[in-house]
Each structure stands twice: as structure tokens, then as C-alpha cells.
Amino acid sequence: MLKAFANTLKVPELKKRILFTAGLVAICRLVSLVPTPGVDGSAISEAFKNATGTAGGLLGMMDIFTGGALARCSVGFFGIWPYISASIILQLMTAIVPALERMARDGEAGRQRLNQWTRYFTIVICVFQSFVLARTLEYHPEAVFRGISVNVVHAPGFGFEIMTVIAMTTAAMFVMWLGDQITARGIGNGISLIIMINICSRLPMAIMQAQAKYFPDMVPNQDAFQLVLLLVVGFIVCAGTVMLTQGVRKVQIHSARRSAGASAYGGMASYMPLRVNFSGVMPIIFAGPIIQIPSALLARITHPGLQWLANIGRAFSEGRSAPYMLLYAVLILFFSFFWVATQFNAVRIADDLKRTGGYVPGVRPGRATAEFLDHTMSRVTFIGAIGLIIVAIFPTILYSGMQVPWEMASFFGGTSLLIIVGVALDTLRQMESYLTMRHYDGFLKHGRIQSRRN
């Protein structure tokens, strides 16, 4: 493995791409450190620390994804998330609106138009969210910080609102442009890589919390054995997450043999990979806010006759409560099937196979193939959803059952681990392709080319 990393510096093009990517990622991190003009950063950091005391809270999750920009209220407050929100919305609408579906199937030109629409939609989301944030920080900061009254804006007014909208929208669009540049001229998917780096930026804090808990004054205490157990369990969870990310159900596809004059082609067997975790981290991203936003609103009810609603809201706003985890698991299961239902079109795949002369052995082409693919994908999705639920709730179990600090527990599962594993594997796969093309040893033994041994 170390030799493979050393080999990456021997390939000029790969070395250039890696350095280019590292430079742009550093710029993205700098954007998350630039304070928003007119905001008291120290006051908002203290209020944020008091407001995110429970595990898995919505603010805490967003702060992890923005690399701490949320806690500092920097100009990179929203980071890359407006672009991701716009992409998800248009992707879901593509499965519903026929015009968008035709555009998506219109080759490269259609995809470019969809990407342009996504960028315009991103600007709209940025302007709206930054304006709402500015108004909230001016007049209702307790709505963000769980009833904590704090003055975070020095000079409220229309000027502050316009300045906040311009600064945060510009920063979000700049980060989106940097992600596109990484994808085009760097290594890996730029947007995903920025999110992964933001998550990993919390790792030093997690290590400091582990040192304070298990090695106070640099001397191991009676809980040090728990750390060894955590490392073993973390390795198992990480291996399981890799299996969940990489797992596929291979459906054998045969193509009919055709003759054209004196030559024949076709008649070969291939496989259609059906991913076990087809929906990725989307079910977790959907499930969390759907629980936490309504519960946070209910928890703020102060009317004496509606205290039962406030109690329900507090029960579900606690990220470690049993009702929360049960509803969380149900929503992850639901959104796993929902994402497959909207993004996996078995009828279109069956029609494409029939048009190109492909078929599944033992299954009639057309409708029967679509039903077979749909049934197979449903069973695979159920297995992937169960694995996703286990990975999602495992940090909460560590936090509530073993009193592991949340910053540390979040790296043992949940969205953070899924994103880190998925992005790291995709990036290593691209680096592997550059190495194998230049006849260097790659990261995987089975990726070696036979001619290297001659």
C-alpha cells in the first residue's frame, strides 16, 4: 500500500492532479474559516456549543458536513449543500416530469442543460436560505439555538441582510466551482471530495476527546480497555461499510448472436450489477431532517394546554431516545425503497435489453424481465437497507450506551463513515487506473498486470 502511494508521485499526470486537488481543497477549507461580516463569531460559537448537546442533532450533523463553518457562522456557512439540495430535487423531479426525463436521456447535451438548471436553482436556494438566516440571526436567534437568547449581530438592518446574502451566495457558488474544477482537472469527484474533507476536518477534535477520556494527563485510566474494544469494533464496522458500499448482485445477461455477411458478433455473456446499497447515504440524509425539524418546532411549544405536543417533540428531538431510533430506522427503510422506486426504472432497462438483443437466461424479454429485475432489486434493497440502518444507529448506541463522545462516535458509523468510505474507494479507484496504465503496482493485488512479472 505504501509503495503504491509512493508510485503515485512517479506518474507526472497523476502527481499534477493530486497536487491540484490538494490546493483547491485547501482553498475550500479557507473559505469555511472566513467570518461573516457583522456577526459575533465568539458569541455564536458558544451558543452553538450549548445548542448541540444531544447526539445526532440537525445542527450538529450540518456542522460536520460543513467542516465547522456552521459553528463559526463563516461565509462558507452553507458550503456545498445548496448545490446538493438542488441536484437531489432535480434528480427526483426527473423521475416524475416527462420533459426532464427526456432531457436526461438526450445524451451529453441534455445532461449539460440539466447541470445548468441545477446551478441556477442553487443560486435561488442560496439567496433564500442566506436571507432567512440573516433575518433569524437578527431578530430570532433563539429559534436556531434552542431558546438560548444571544446577541450575535452587531448592526442589524437591511445592509446586513444584503451583505450576508451576497457573501454566503458567492462563497457557496465559489465552492461549487472549485468542486467542478477538481472533477475536471484533479482526482476524484470534486463535490464528494469536499464533503469528505469537511468531515475529516473534525478528526483532530475526536482524537483530542479520546485522549481526554481515556488518557488524561497522558496516563491510561480504567476505561482504556474500552478504547481497544472500540478500535476492534470500529475496524469491523468499517469493513462492513466497505462491503455494503461495494456489494452488488450480479444478474447474468446474454446477448443474441448476430450475423452480418461473413462475420458474426454478439452471443457473449455479461453481468448487470445491482448495487446492494443503491441509494447510498440519501435515506439517512432524508430521514434525519424529517424527524428533527418537526420535533424541534414541537419542543418549543409553551402553551400550557399543548405540553403533550412539546413532550413528544422533546422525545423525538433527543437523538439517543428509543422512539427516535425506531422512527429513524423505519424512515431509512422507507427512503431506501423510495429512492430505488424513483431512480431504478426496470421497465426501461428491460426495453433497452430487448432492443439491443440482450436477455436474462430463463426469463422472457420485455415485461417478464422487468418484473424479474424489480423483484430482484427489491430483495437486494431490503438487505442493503438493514445494513444501512445498522451503520446509521451505531454511533448513537456508542454515545448513549458507552458514553463515547459524539465527535468520536460519529466516525464509527452514520453518514460520516459512509461518505468517507465511498469517496475514498472512488478516489483510490481512479488513482489505481492511472497506476496500472503506467505499469506500476496498484493498491490492490488483483489489479496487477501479468506483464509486469515478465
232-276 confidence digits (pLDDT tens): 888 888 888 888 888 899 988 887 666 555 555 555 678 888 999
In-domain check, residue 1? yes
Would residue 171 count as lying in a domain?
Answer: yes
Dihedral angle sign, alpha carbons of residues 297, 303, 305, 307:
positive
pLDDT of residue 320: 67
Question: What angle (nearest 5°) sits at the alpha carbon of residue 376, between those of residues 87 and 423?
Answer: 40
Give domain status of residue 241, yes or no. no
8 in a structural domain: yes
Q: Which of 342, 192, 186 is nearest to 278 (CA)?
A: 342
Question: What is residue 257's predicted lDDT score, i.e. its pLDDT?
Answer: 65
Judge whether residue 307 has pLDDT over 90.
no
Q: Is the pLDDT of residue 317 over 70?
A: no
Could you give the CA distance from residue 32 to residue 364 in angstroms, rounded to a whole number?
A: 55
Look at residue 446 and tell me if it is in a domain: no
| CA–CA distance, 22 with 36 (Å, rounded to integer) | 25
Q: What is the DSSP string of 291-307?
A: HHHHHHHHHT---GGGH
Cell numbers that stand for 319 in this block: 437523538
As a whole number, the mean pLDDT across the chain is 80
Q: Which structural domain range is residue 32 located in?
A: 1-201
Q: For the chain, what is the domain count?
A: 1
Confidence of residue 32 (pLDDT cuts 50, 70, 90): confident
Give the DSSP H or E segment for 390: helix 367-401
Supply the pLDDT for residue 123. Answer: 92
Query: Which of 148-162, 341-355, 439-453 has the least mean pLDDT?
Result: 439-453
Tell me whether residue 168 is in a domain.
yes
Residue 410 within a domain: no
Place of cell 416527462: 98
Q: Which of 59-68, 103-112, 131-140, 388-397 has the highest mean pLDDT?
A: 388-397
Overall residue count recorded for the chain in this entry: 454
Provide the 10 A C-beta neighbour count for residue 386: 15
Band (pLDDT 50/70/90 cuts) for residue 181 is: very high
The mean pLDDT of 367-376, rounded to a whole number, is 91
Tell me: pLDDT of 377 over 70.
Answer: yes
CATH number at residue 197: 1.10.3370.10
How far is 263 from 250, CA to CA, in rounded Å?
A: 30
Give SS3 for 358: strand
442 in Cβ contact with 9 (< 8 Å)? no
Backbone angles phi, psi at 333, to 5 degrees: -60, -45
**Residue 365, pLDDT score:** 87
Encoded amino acid at 430, one letter: Q
Look at residue 452 in the predicted model and tell me its pLDDT. Answer: 38
Q: Which residue has the cell 503496482?
A: 441
pLDDT at 420: 87
pLDDT band for position 50 (cuts 50, 70, 90): low
For residue 166 the three cell numbers come to 451576497
The answer to the question of residue 21 being in a domain is: yes
Q: Which of 85-99, 298-312, 440-454 has the lowest mean pLDDT?
A: 440-454
Q: 358 in the Ramachandran plot: left (φ > 0), alpha (ψ -120 to 50) or beta?
A: beta
Q: Which residues contact 25 (CB under 8 A, 6 or more apart)?
A: 182, 193, 194, 197
The predicted pLDDT at position 127 comes to 92
> Which CA distances in Å does 385 have to 51, 84, 273, 452?
31, 22, 17, 41
